[in-house]
Structure 1
Amino acid sequence: MASASLPARSNRDDSIKRTKRQTAQDTLVSMGFPRNRAEKAVAATGDRGIQLASDWLLSHVEDPTLDDGTRREYVLYLCPNGKLQDELNKFWEKSLSQCGWNGAHSYFPHITMCPFFTADDKSAGFLSDSFLKLESKLRQAPDHLKLDFFSQMNFVGLFVKDNMYDFLQECVSVFCKELAKGGIKIEPHKKQLHLTLAYQYPPEQHDKLLKFAKEIDLTVDVRWDLRLYSRDPRAGKCEIRKVVKAYTPQVGDELELIDGDYIFLDPKELTKTKDGWYPGVSWLTGVLGMFPGVYTQKTAETWTWALHRSLPLQVRPKSMAITNGIIVEEDYDAIWHDDKDYAKVNKVFIKEKKHRITPEEKREQRKLIICRHGERTDFAMGKGWYDMCFDDDGRYTRTNLNLPKKMLIRFNNLEYINDPPLTEVGKLQAQLTAEMLMENKVLLTAVYTSPSLRCVQTGAEIHQALKLQSKMKIEPGLFEWTGHTSVVPRWISPEDLARQGYAIDTTYIPQVPRDKIEDGESIGNLYARSTETSRQILKLYENKGGNILFVGHSGTLDLCTRIITGQTPRTMTSYREFLPKVPYVAMCAVEEDVITGKWKFIDPPTLPISHGRNIVQNVRDILNG
């Protein structure tokens, strides 16, 4: 049958054109940055978004290498996470404190998957896209990765067992083929895959380092992530010094030392100076200058690297296939029968275990996203902010542009002292976070917030921007540590919040009612309360799946994920040290494996926000610390 011909168009409009989504480089160019600088910034920040790249450009305005064509160096690392990472970090610290620096301390624990290779800055997006094509391949790991101790004089390490060696090599081969399409070549990896524990150390330290290595428990839980990193080529040739004390230049040739910065130092300079001052280059600004060595300390060069993308290595379910809605599980018992001139394997039996896939098994994967609230008024304005804004009759007057334009009506305005609102900047932080969720097409099934006003307001900004149909749910179980606050505030009730325009589900029955939250609770009870809250809420979505958002406090990111991901609760000291490291509107995310039922950390769906005291840190590294 002949195909019908298309009718002629009478309303053609050549002004309508389909456009591709702008790359980060294109957006920066449209903002007025030269293309070569835009490409350099995107590559230097790991192709992680416009905000990071623009911040990098603004901080590197005096970098003399800003316009040179130096190519960054890239590498694939397989990195351990979880309890094995903790074991290895303990070994790193012990070996450093008792034996001094060796070559392994220049990096974090890892398995090198390929040699370093170079690429033009304009290829950053292509590299990320090529790497992400490995996701399906990494889900097919034939077995758990196992490691064996190996040592010889001047080397202690862990070698990958043969059961995974071939598979990992195949993964690298797939990546190499993808890069070859863009003209990027990677040399074959010629070394046995291994995780180096120590090397380049004096011979007399070998026995002690080997003893420490044997104390590592290789049987603990671990999740392996394949990661694409890049580095400034100077990092591989320099000693990296971490700034431990800030310094303001006194004369023109001196380098400003900034908290959080790292300095590139040519090792040759260490033998040239006699006064303890060295020429170095700032990682944060690219500026060259003289700096006092005593204000810095030697550290791992990997702190200066850019993480581009990360994907988890997942073991394929044993002999499982899905055919026409039926799960078929095969069980093989392979027995070798040796004859004179051959060996053969006999399949003893195949057992088919059939059952119909239920709606629960077809459901969407569950993800839990946790967000800290935005900037709070008392932290921004000081503890005396209430007296500055409220008169004796409780009337509010706005005395600073960053203060809320208006206050909500509550039973007693004095409660604002213990339950402060967001600042205007805090609301903007929440709005920017919501915009990134929309840009990344993150769909939320439900939003739960701590009853603290700052959390409710943060959740409300996100809820409103995403135009969610389901209303927010107030959950006291997400409230912060009462051992830290010393008081449980009288929060604004869900009904009063709803009357004042907030989209609150007033019919929701909390998992942990307010009267069940004890004053001055122990750190153990805090983790138990938070974990139970998470599990009970997640249980509500066993059949539905989807993305659930918790809006809470700095501790919530750890409290609601630590135990369900298989980690042990922090001690009180560790928890107190953790809290200041979490910036406003920081996010973390965990995802359920629908086959094993286990939860694991994944990359959060938003970028961090850096300004003033809100310091950018890798939240996943903080949580795993």
Structure 2
Amino acid sequence: MVDVKKTSTTSQNVLRAHYKTLRPPNALRGNEVIILRHAETIAEVFPDWIERCKLDTTQLYPFDLNMPVRIPQRPNMKEAYMHDPPLSEVGRIMTQIFARELVVRNAIPRQIYSSPSLASIQTALDIKNFIGNQCGAICVDESLSSNRHDSKYWLTEKDMTRLRYCIGEFCVELQTEKSSLNDIVQDMKNLVATLVQKKKQHYVVLIVTDSLAAQILYDALSGIQSSYNEPLQQLYRKAERTFPPVSSTVFTPSTRNGILVMEPSRNSLRPLTRIGETTRPDFDSEEYVDAKP
């Protein structure tokens, strides 16, 4: 028999936890623009990976389990991969976990825009391959790259066909000699304007690119006025802190004074946290503390 007096006394001395009913996370509305920083590259893990794996046209020695075991053949392998490295194995696994989150959250993209860097293309392809036929086509858009000095190392459309990469039939080509940061920012703002107009249609758009491009796109969509006057390498370091690998931000269309605009969504995709690292964007960085739309 239960001792009622004892039970009552115990309840006064013990704080019991209250658990919420487990349920799936909120689904997205299905008309968002998602900006995704590509997954980690092997160069971010091992800056000297080319020397350590003894890379040349005929051999590749994977010295670590995080090393990719297959990479595309390219002219001048060492130089090409020094400027345009592939994803690490962990990066590819993280991409698949992110793709699963897109499915769970009703955020399967009808259109994927990818920077021409190999890391961005591999990230976009892994997402599409994980989701399957429900996922839309991939468009490689050169305006999404923040570093056009490396354009000669990008895979060409012919290369992608040879590698059987499932890329859409159209690619946007730019005059890559226009490689100043101001030109890059303006091209991205033009792309944002185009996306806003397309958001009259109800579907999810995913943009895959590098950290600095993700920051520029975030600022443009949020209405944050940034000058980007610092040295390029410093801008890259700050952007990499703000947008780590596989970090994402979500924007949703709304009407302001009769004009269609994009605004940061209240619904975000869940981050992926590992020991000492997370994919959550860090907007507490000093460059965002004083930023005002």
Give the TM-score taking structure 2 as reference length: 0.78
Task: Quote the residue 1:448 is aligned against.
Answer: 113
Three-state SS of the structure 1 residue aligned to 2:69 is: coil
- Matches for 1:339-418 after TM superposition, within 5 Å: 366-382=31-47, 384-414=48-78, 415-418=80-83
Secondary structure at the counterpart of residue 205 of structure 2: strand
Matched, 1:470 2:127: no
Equivalent residue in structure 2 for 1:497, among 160, 177, 187: 160
Deviation of 1:479 after TM superposition, in Å, equals 0.6
SS at match of 2:222: coil
Of the candidates 183, 194, 200, which is equivalent to residue 536 of structure 1? 194
Shift of 1:393: 4.6
1:440 and 1:605 in contact (8 A); partners too: no
Give 1:516's aligned amino acid: T
The alpha-carbon distance between structure 1 residues 391 and 582, as it changes in their structure 2 partners (threshold 3 A), is: closer
| CA shift for structure 1 position 570 | 4.3
2:20 matches 1:123: yes
Deviation at residue 385 of structure 1 after TM alignment: 1.0
> Aligned equivalents of 2:267 and 2:73: distance in 1?
35
Distance 1:458 1:438, change over 3 A: same
Q: 5 Å matches for 1:218-233? A: none
CA RMSD between the two structures? 3.0
The whole-number CA distance in structure 2 between the counterparts of 1:440 and 1:491 is 33
Q: Which amino acid aligns with 1:536?
A: T
Looking at structure 2, the residues matched to 487 and 496 of structure 1 have their Cα atoms a distance apart, in angstroms, of 16
- The structure whose residues are more often strand, as a share, is 1
Find the counterpart in structure 1 of residue 4 from structure 2.
none
Distance 1:496 1:402, change over 3 A: same
Whether 1:508 aligns to 2:201 is: no
Distance (Å, rounded) in 1 between the aligned partners of 2:218 and 2:49: 34
SS at match of 1:406: coil
Q: Give the direction of change, closer, same or farther, for the CA distance of 1:412–1:613 in structure 2 (3 Å limit).
A: farther
- Deviation of 1:549 after TM superposition, in Å, equals 0.3
Measure, in 2, the Cα distance between the counterparts of 1:618 and 1:70: 35
Structure with bigger RCO (C-alpha 8 Å, 6+ apart): 2
Counterpart Cα distance in 1 of 2:161 and 2:177: 23
Name 1:565's counterpart in structure 2: 222
Runs of 4+ in 1 over 6 A off after TM superposition: none
1:568-587 superposed matches below 5 A: 568-573=225-230, 575-576=235-236, 577-587=238-248
Q: Could you tell me how far apart the structure 1 residues matched to 2:278 and 2:83 are?
A: 25
Shift of 1:593: 0.6
Distance in structure 2 (CA, Å) of the matches to 1:412 and 1:610: 37
Out of 528-537 and 438-447, give the one that drifted further.
528-537
CA distance, structure 1, for counterparts of residue 72 and residue 57 of structure 2:
16
SS for the counterpart of 2:84 is coil
Q: Which runs of 5+ in 1 are unaligned?
A: 1-67, 72-119, 133-363
Query: CA 1:386 to 1:618, structure 2 compared with 1: closer, same or farther past 3 Å?
Result: closer
Q: CA deviation at 1:610?
A: 2.1
Identical residues among aligned pairs (%): 18
Counterparts in 2 of 1:585 and 1:604: CA distance versus 1, 3 Å:
farther
In structure 2, what residue type is equivalent to 1:504? I
**Paired residues of 1:455 and 1:552 also in contact (CA < 8 A):** yes
Q: 1:546 aligns with which of 203, 206, 228?
A: 203
Structure 1 match to 2:3? none
Task: Go from structure 1 to structure 2 and tell me whether the alpha carbon gap of 1:365 and 1:389 turns closer, same or farther (over 3 Å shift).
Answer: closer
What amino acid sits opposite 1:566 in the alignment?
G
Task: Give the whole-Å Cα distance in 2 for the aligned partners of 1:563 and 1:591.
Answer: 14
Residue type at the aligned position of 1:557 = A
SS at match of 1:592: strand
**Alpha-carbon distance, 1:413 to partner:** 1.4
Residues in 2 aligned to 1:471 and 1:584: alpha-carbon distance in whole angstroms: 22
Which segments of 5 or more consecutive residues in structure 2 lack a partner in the other structure? Answer: 1-12
Q: State the Cα distance separating 1:537 from its structure 2 match.
A: 4.1
> Which protein has the larger Cα radius of gyration, Structure 1 or Structure 2?
1
Question: What's the CA shift string for 1:578-597, capped at 9, x where partnerless?
Answer: 43232110000111114541
Q: Could you tell me which residue of structure 1 aligns to residue 213 of structure 2?
A: 556
